[in-house]
Amino acid sequence: MDNPGALVEQAVERSLLLIETWPAWDGKPLTSDDGRTYTPHKAVRRIADHIVDHLAEIEALLAGVPTQPDEWHASALTSAADLAPFTVEDVQEAEQRLRRLGRTFALRYAAVDPVEWDKDRGENRTLRETAEHLAESEWYAEQVGDLRTAGR
């Protein structure tokens, strides 16, 4: 049985293919289909925060303690930092940050008995379902897209 945490690493790599194009960003925030505003920095922040949030959830579930309540501003917040220019150095920082988070997620799954992956967690998702959910994290990167092809 394959480690479902690897799905998170794969989502990170798909996101990074888009992120590497973002130094071409023209500084204008983009709007998703649901009306939320995205910029390169915000998309990276959301991917990282999403992984951190679920990694903390999994640690709590495995420790048998309550999960921490979700009080993120998440996509509702576009901070001044989110509006900063996105440079080649920012791409490099995103690569380091996101790859480490994705790998940590996969390693955490590898460190537990695979029986834990599908164990009923009550109101929470199973660990496998959480990894599958996080495999969709590249949605944030897609809101900025491939800026080589956008003519930005």
For residue 128, the tally of other CB atoms under 10 A from its CB is 19
Could you give the percent of the chain with pLDDT greater than 70? 97
**Tens of pLDDT along 26-36?**
999 999 989 99
What integer pLDDT is reported at residue 72 of this predicted model?
A: 84
Residue 2 reports pLDDT greater than 70: yes
Rounded to whole angstroms, how far apart are CA atoms 95 and 143? 18
What integer pLDDT is reported at residue 101 of this predicted model?
A: 97
**Region for residue 119 given its phi and psi (left: phi exceeds 0; alpha: psi -120 to 50; beta: otherwise):** beta
**Region for residue 129 given its phi and psi (left: phi exceeds 0; alpha: psi -120 to 50; beta: otherwise):** alpha
pTM: 0.93
**Tens of pLDDT along 30-59?**
999 899 999 999 999 999 999 999 999 999
